Amino acid sequence: MVDVGWYMALAAALFLIGALGMLLRRNALVMFMCIELMLNAVNLTLISAGRALNDLDGQVAVFFILVVAAAEVVVGLAIIVAIFRRRATASVDELSELRG
Amino acid sequence: MITPPEISWLAIAPDLALTLGAALVLLVDVQWKPVARVHAWVSGVTVAVAAGLTVAQWIQAAPADALAFSGLITMDGFAIFTRLVLIAATALGLAAGWRFVAGLGRRGAEAIALVLLATSGFSLMVASNNLVMMFMGLEVGSIALYVVAGLARERRESEEAAIKYFLLGSFASAIFIYGVALIYAGTGQFEIVGIRDLLAGFVVSSPAVIYIGVGLVVVGLAFKVSAAPFHAWAPDVYQGAPAGLVGYMATVAKVAGFAAIARILLTGVLDLSGSWLPVVAGISVVSMLLGSVLALVQGDVRRLLAYSGVSHAGFIMTGVVGGATDAVLFYLAIYAIQLIGAFAVVAVVAGPDAAGSSIDQYRGLGRRSPLLAGAFTVILLGMGGLPVTSGFVAKFGVFTGAWAEGYEWLVIVAVVATVVALAFYIRVIVVMYMDEAQEEGTLRIGPERWVLVLAVAATILWGIFPASLLDLAADALPI
């Protein structure tokens, strides 16, 4: 039996990878995938914490986060597609018309 | 035998009304393809019903049965007051954005439905006692707002605002929910009241996980309320999103975000305040100074309002440091009305679906449309916190709270920031009255005029007689 702490550590590592990718990558799609990675790290944390605490709340919460992630995909991909259609690029560096 | 949970429909009645209203707008649009006036009636009645149900909650609410739906939702004064502010912001925001909505043609119904859904989400968020429920409300509201930011589809700036808002908003949501997961790992609780009782009763053996969790929750919400150093998205989004609805977007996100911050920090983890107070005070200082200084150098009124929003986030944070929920609520109510009023002026000057609003457009506004310029002057002075305006009372409230808590240095920084902030508000006023107009002709004002009348009246009347609203805010205590 693997100690629950390892699962939490793995989740923390996944979350960090996602957060760093979000900050370092410049392609809107990849940034979006990094956000999904972060949400999945949250799911892993909740499942392992719920398991360790012998409590169902954490595992039920995962379903809610899955649904939210799906809703974000719908809106996010729609926005990215709309931008790609007009500019033929998904790089956020090209999106710099708004500045003071 | 399983006993079913007790259901108190009144606790979520306003949110249900808003959701059903959104569905009704879409159905009516599909079935009859009516003119915009019909949508105005349907959305107006929906908002009125939601407001009426919220007032009914206020009359009914008793602290003993404040928890509903097995502790997911609260019906405390704090939730009801914030909900009223959100619903008022929706009514004013729709009026200010009406010319934009009507100009969308067949897509107008979508815009109204999205606005109503966003309000229902944020309204659930401010009333939730459960952190996962709070996340659901936050996301229902935020996802609707991402779409609203991109509604002016034919403008490239609107698309850019939408993608920036979406990426950074989702990033903030992910940080928030990871913080919630860590708090759960440390306490075994999602319920805010449960966390409070746990922390009051036990010495938590390994608090590091909880500290990190609280920190991440604060960071996630600081993103949403555009507090520095997490404010980078705000100027771009405020500049690029359709002018008519920007005021609504900015206001509801900020009101709901601060209500959540106040509820989590001041109810949930108040016993850990020794750890989070310095952090929140730090965010407050950075926001006030950075927002005020950067607003000085903006050439676009919408970016200026965005940076002023950053400094306002700092001012409201001083209220959180002071632990005074009533001062925070009063400030939020006042700022909500003024922010929507200011963006209503922008919508008139720049055009309802425009992106950006250069300060050159405001030159000589005092001669072109004296009433509009007068209203903008009152609102800007109110935002700046000049005495005799409601902004002064609001600032006084949050500052005295922080002073009483022993954060004198924070109040001194805040007063300095207030003076710097006055400089850029006055700069806009000077441009309106001292410069020659670059464009001729009077400006067309639509339903925005009612928003402006209300914003000016609220700024002056609650500046001279603040007692009525202060008493309401003082009664609006969290459980």
Does the pLDDT value for residue B402 go beyond 80?
yes
Q: Encoding tokens for residue A58?
A: 């954490």
Phi and psi at residue B445, in whole multiples of 5°? Answer: -115, 125
Query: pLDDT, tens digit, for every residue of A23-81?
Result: 999 899 999 999 999 999 999 999 999 999 999 999 999 999 999 999 999 999 999 99
CB pairs under 8 A between A and B: 118
CATH number for A81? 1.10.287.3510
Alpha helical stretches, state H, B385-447: 390-404, 408-434
Q: How confident is the model at residue B445 (pLDDT cuts 50, 70, 90)?
A: confident
Residue A100 included in any domain: no
Residue A81: inside a domain? yes
Residues of chain A contacting B139 with CB distance shorter than 8 Å: 68, 71-72
Domain assignment of residue A40, yes or no: yes
CB within 8 Å: B181 and A49: yes
Contact B98, B244 (CB under 8 A): yes
Q: Say what the pLDDT of residue B206 is.
A: 64
For residue range B14-63, what is the model confidence (pLDDT) as tens digits?
999 999 999 999 999 999 988 888 999 999 999 999 999 999 998 886 65
pLDDT digits (tens, 9 = 90+) for B273-308: 888 999 999 999 999 999 999 999 998 999 999 999
DSSP per residue, B17-50: HHHHHHHHHHHHHHHH---HHHHHHHHHHHHHHH
CB B118 within 8 A of CB B67: no
> Looking at the partner chain, which of A48, A53, A97 has a beta carbon nearest the beta carbon of B157?
A97
**Residue B97 token pair:** 């954005």
**pLDDT reported for residue A100:** 55
pLDDT tens digits, one per residue of B85-121: 999 999 999 999 999 999 888 889 999 999 999 999 9
* Amino acid in position B94: L
- Which site among B134, B157, B158, B184 would you substitute to test the A interface, given the most A Cβ atoms closer than 10 Å to its Cβ? B184
Residue A44 lies in a domain: yes
Nearest-Cα distance to chain A for B41, in Å, is 28
Q: Domain count of chain A?
A: 1
User: Do B181 and A53 lie within an 8 Å CB cutoff?
Assistant: no
User: Residues of A near B (CB-CB distance < 8 A)?
Assistant: 8, 15, 18-19, 22, 28, 31-32, 35, 38-39, 41-42, 45-46, 48-50, 52-53, 55, 57-58, 61, 64-65, 68, 71-72, 75-76, 79-80, 82-83, 86-87, 92, 95, 97-100
Q: A54: helix, coil or strand?
A: coil
Whether residue B222 contacts residue B281, with contact meaning beta carbons closer than 8 Å, is answered with: no
Q: Is residue A58 part of a domain?
A: yes
Instruction: Determine the structural domain holding residue A69 and report its residue range.
Output: 4-91
CB B362 within 8 A of CB B349: yes
Residue A98 lies in a domain: no
Query: What mean pLDDT is predicted for residues B160-187?
Result: 94
The answer to the question of residue A69 being in a domain is yes
Please tell me the distance from the alpha carbon of residue A55 to that of residue A60, in angstroms, as a whole number.
10
Q: What share of chain A is helix, strand, coil (3-state, %, to 5)?
A: 80, 0, 15
Whether A97 is in a domain gets the answer no
H-only helix segments in A25-56: 28-53
Nearest-CB residue to A75 (from B146, B159, B356): B146
DSSP assigned state of B271: G
CA pair distance B274, B284, nearest whole angstrom:
16
For an interface test with A, the pick among B125, B130, B131, B132 (most A C-beta atoms closer than 10 Å) comes out as B132
Across B178-269, where does the E strand assignment appear?
A: none
Chain B positions touching A100 (Cβ under 8 A) are 235, 239, 297-300, 303
Residue B65 pLDDT greater than 70, yes or no: no
Q: Which of B132, B167, B235 sits opposite A28 (nearest CB)?
A: B167
